[in-house]
């Protein structure tokens, strides 16, 4: 199996990890996940024999790699590295995708990935797949109000907390002035 990993990707690990990311609606760098999954497969290589279910093994390695990366990202935040001082290529995809400030992209990914699956799914269906509201409601199995809440929570996780608080304050001020 190790020779298979060295000679390209005949086990289609890259495609498998891409599908796992999509199925779980997670914001992780695909190349980073692919490398970690390959590492997990290589570590298990000595215990693989003829009776091993390769599909199951590769899926499990992918899921464990996702867990590894999410825990790494959470640990970095817990250690006080909330914002990276410089642009980190591990999170550059998020800047490219939706314009998140590169310095704040790691925290945005962590916050988003900690959201419930239904919130992440609403975001993916809307922003990644470009579906319209009726299509998303059908696939997310929810009504319009619930969908709106899920999307807002997912977007809020991606936004800078200071920006969200500023917007909330402006809206409250406008509402109170309108009542006067």
How is the chain split into domains, by residue range? 1-100, 115-180
pLDDT of residue 76: 77
pLDDT recorded at residue 168: 61
pLDDT averaged over consecutive 10-residue blocks of the chain (180 residues)?
Answer: 62 93 92 94 83 88 95 76 59 76 81 94 87 89 90 85 60 68
Distance CA 57, CA 43 (A): 12
DSSP state of 11: T
Q: Which pLDDT value is given to residue 96?
A: 78
For residue 9, the model assigns a pLDDT of 84
DSSP state of 94: H
Q: Residue 180's pLDDT is what?
A: 52
Q: Please give the CATH number for the structural domain made up of 115-180.
A: 1.10.10
Distance (Å, whole) CA 107 – CA 157: 9
State residue 81's pLDDT score: 54
Encoding tokens for residue 161? Answer: 């907390």
- The pLDDT value recorded for residue 170 is 64
Say what the pLDDT of residue 2 is. 47
Decide if 120 contacts 114 (C-beta within 8 A): no
pLDDT at 73: 86
Residues 40, 45, 47: CA angle, nearest 5 degrees: 115
């Amino acid at each position: 199996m190790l020779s298979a990993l060295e000679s390209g990707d005949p086990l289609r690990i890259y495609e498998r990890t891409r599908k796992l990311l999509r199925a779980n609606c997670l914001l992780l760098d695909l190349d980073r996940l692919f490398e970690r999954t390959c590492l997990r497969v290589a570590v298990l290589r000595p215990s693989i024999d003829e009776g091993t279910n390769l599909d199951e093994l590769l899926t499990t390695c992918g899921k464990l790699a996702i867990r590894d990366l999410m825990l790494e990202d959470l640990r970095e935040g817990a250690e006080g590295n909330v914002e990276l001082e410089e642009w980190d290529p591990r999170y550059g995809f998020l800047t490219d995708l939706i314009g998140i400030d590169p310095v704040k992209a790691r925290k945005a990914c962590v916050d988003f990935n900690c959201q419930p699956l239904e919130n992440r799914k609403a975001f993916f269906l809307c922003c990644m797949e470009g579906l319209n509201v009726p299509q998303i409601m059908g696939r997310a199995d929810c009504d319009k109000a619930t969908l709106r809440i899920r999307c807002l929570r997912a977007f809020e996780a991606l936004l800078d907390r200071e920006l969200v608080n500023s917007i909330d304050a402006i809206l409250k001020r406008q509402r109170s002035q309108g009542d006067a």
